């Protein structure tokens, strides 16, 4: 069996552990177990499924230190940030456990005079999840929690650099008491996904979080096989500063938000759009912040800058920045990898980025701040919407009505008013345009892979 899945410490570039890719026979056996278990799991009372998910939430909290250390080795996340991810994942499982019965309640329909009608929500079967490396636990929780609560079963293909956390998540579901086959971790190749899983009639849909290219490829295969998809893809979210009484504080808030997970988040605010009357001071403040953010050993309490997820990711990030500068952008901070090996890169501040430059439309998946100057609300909205993506946005102003007015004109799946973008278990998450289709989290999450069955009962 070939080895595709491996743990490579991004701080050093050293391979820590390897896992063999599954054989075709193992993949087919996993599909069979998932489909077979669906019959049992879908008929398990909702309250019982919810109780098991509550136990999953508890185990995440109990094992937080261990889980954070695992992803530190896999993708470089500092232990404090890792603990935060584990806590959010625990909250997601608990949220859907607490709300499953309410979300699955029959929905009465108004209108029939000769009978009674309602919508009954039923699970559809075995689902495939394809998850990324940047939030190894959280991304899985967004997909697994609502669908397990609904009664679907799951095959989970994680990112090849996250095999250890992938195995631990399956272990947690088993420890919590879910039946064998309700959640199965598979070390599948892309070819096995396309050739074995998606064509199989027992598979009822696929959820992918990843790149545009991966999303397009999976959607094409799913479409050929008439399978439902949920896609959460890239983002180039605008962060619009209309006015502020404290420019330095605003710059600090944005910089700290942008540096979360070392800038490796789809909904990270990648474009700072600033009104001209505060632009110069803002740019000076954020450049100073970037120059102070030096790398430290990932895992240490208070670590300010972790490595990117891999040496390859760091090389691509630096290449994107250097190409953008060579095309005429102004580099105010950063732009290089740190000496000493590993995937550490300097935080970047770019200005004067214009159409035609690589950094204008491409997503910079790393610690890069791009600052734009505008002179009106209309110009801010036009620039914010001039992107192929449409995931999230944030608008700041001391005049709340002004911020809401501008926010309402942004083409995105999410808008935050006077608050940095973030993720909470009760807020629906998803985008428009090339940021994907479908919603995760909140009350909308259980409306994706579900049979909304009409029931009509005649009075005749």
3-233+436-458 has which fold?
A: Aldehyde Dehydrogenase; Chain A, domain 1 (3.40.605)
User: What's the distance, CA 24 to chain centroid?
Assistant: 29
Q: Would you call 266 a catalytic residue per the annotation?
A: yes
Tell me if 234 sits within 8 A of 434, measured CB to CB: yes
pTM: 0.95
What's the DSSP call for residue 375? S
Between CA 290 and CA 263 the distance in angstroms is 12
pLDDT given at position 338:
85
Domain residue extents for the chain:
3-233+436-458, 237-425
Give, in order, the Cα–Cα distances in Å from 222 to each of 18, 225, 295.
30, 5, 42
pLDDT given at position 459:
87
Q: Identify the segments of the chain with pLDDT beneath 70.
A: 1-3, 296-304
Give, in order, the Cα–Cα distances in Å from 233 to each of 197, 199, 390, 430, 441.
21, 23, 10, 9, 15
Q: Would you call 346 a catalytic residue per the annotation?
A: no
Token pair listed for 412: 């995105």
Q: Is 156 helix (H, G, I), strand (E, B) or coil?
A: strand
pLDDT given at position 342:
87
* Active-site residue, from 74, 85, 170, 266: 266
pLDDT given at position 111:
85
319 CB-near residues (< 8 Å, 6+ apart): none
Please give the helix or strand (H or E) that residue 209 lies within, else none.
Answer: strand 203-209
Between CA 366 and CA 363 the distance in angstroms is 9
Burial class of residue 448, CB neighbours in 10 A (0-12, 13-18, 19+): buried
Q: How far apart, in Å, do the first and last CA atoms of the chain sit?
A: 63
Class of domain 237-425: alpha beta
Between CA 346 and CA 362 the distance in angstroms is 19
Burial class of residue 51, CB neighbours in 10 A (0-12, 13-18, 19+): middle
pLDDT tens digits for 45-83?
A: 999 999 999 999 999 999 999 999 999 999 999 999 999
pLDDT given at position 405:
98
Q: Is 83 helix (H, G, I), strand (E, B) or coil?
A: helix
Tell me if 239 sits within 8 A of 272, measured CB to CB: yes
Between CA 142 and CA 442 the distance in angstroms is 9
Tell me if 242 sits within 8 A of 396, measured CB to CB: yes
pLDDT given at position 437:
97
Token pair listed for 100: 């499953």
Burial 16-38 (b: 16+ CB within 10 A, else e): eeebebbeeebbeebbebbbbbb
* Active-site residue, from 221, 232, 421, 425: 232
pLDDT given at position 117:
95
Between CA 200 and CA 224 the distance in angstroms is 12
């Amino acid at each position: 069996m070939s080895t595709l899945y491996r743990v490579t410490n991004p701080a050093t570039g050293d391979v820590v552990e390897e896992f063999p890719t599954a054989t075709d026979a193992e993949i087919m056996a996993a599909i069979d177990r998932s489909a077979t278990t669906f019959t049992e799991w879908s008929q398990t009372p909702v309250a019982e499924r919810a109780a098991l998910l509550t136990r999953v939430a508890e185990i995440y909290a109990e094992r937080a230190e261990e889980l954070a250390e695992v992803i530190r080795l896999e993708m470089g996340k500092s232990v404090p940030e890792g603990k935060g991810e584990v806590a959010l994942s625990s909250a997601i499982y608990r949220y859907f456990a607490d709300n499953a019965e309410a979300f699955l309640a029959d929905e009465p329909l108004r209108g029939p005079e000769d009978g009674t009608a309602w919508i009954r929500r039923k699970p559809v079967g075995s689902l495939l999840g394809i998850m990324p490396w940047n939030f190894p636990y959280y991304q899985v929780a967004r997909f697994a929690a609502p669908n397990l609560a609904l009664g679907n079963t799951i095959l989970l293909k994680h990112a090849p650099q996250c095999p250890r956390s992938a195995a631990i998540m399956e272990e947690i579901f088993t420890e919590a008491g879910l039946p064998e086959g309700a959640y199965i971790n598979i070390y599948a190749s892309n070819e096995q996904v396309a050739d074995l899983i998606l064509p199989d009639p027992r598979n009822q849909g696929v959820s992918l979080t990843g790149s545009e290219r991966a999303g397009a490829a999976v959607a094409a295969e799913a479409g050929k096989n008439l399978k439902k998809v949920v896609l959460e893809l890239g983002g180039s979210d605008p962060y619009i500063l209309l006015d502020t009484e404290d420019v330095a504080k605003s710059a600090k808030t944005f910089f700290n938000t942008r540096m979360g997970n070392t800038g490796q988040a789809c909904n990270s605010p990648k474009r700072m759009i600033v009104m001209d009357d505060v632009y110069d001071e803002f740019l000076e403040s954020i450049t100073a912040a970037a120059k102070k953010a030096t790398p430290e050993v990932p895992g240490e309490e208070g670590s300010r800058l972790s490595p990117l997820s891999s040496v390859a990711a760091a090389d691509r990030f630096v290449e994107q920045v250097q190409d953008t500068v060579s095309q005429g952008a102004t580099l105010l901070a950063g732009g290089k990898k740190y000496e000493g090996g590993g995937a550490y890169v300097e935080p970047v501040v770019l200005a004067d980025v214009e159409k035609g430059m690589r950094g204008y439309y491409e997503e910079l998946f790393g610690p890069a701040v791009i600052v734009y100057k505008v002179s009106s609300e209309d110009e801010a909205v036009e620039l914010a919407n001039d992107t192929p993506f449409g995931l999230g946005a944030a608008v700041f102003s001391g005049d709340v009505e002004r911020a809401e007015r501008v926010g309402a004109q942004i083409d995105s799946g999410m808008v935050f008013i006077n608050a940095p973008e973030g993720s909470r278990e009760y807020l629906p998450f998803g985008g428009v345009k090339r940021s994907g289709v479908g919603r995760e989290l909140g009350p909308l999450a259980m409306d994706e892979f579900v049979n909304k069955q009409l029931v009509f009962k005649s009075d005749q």
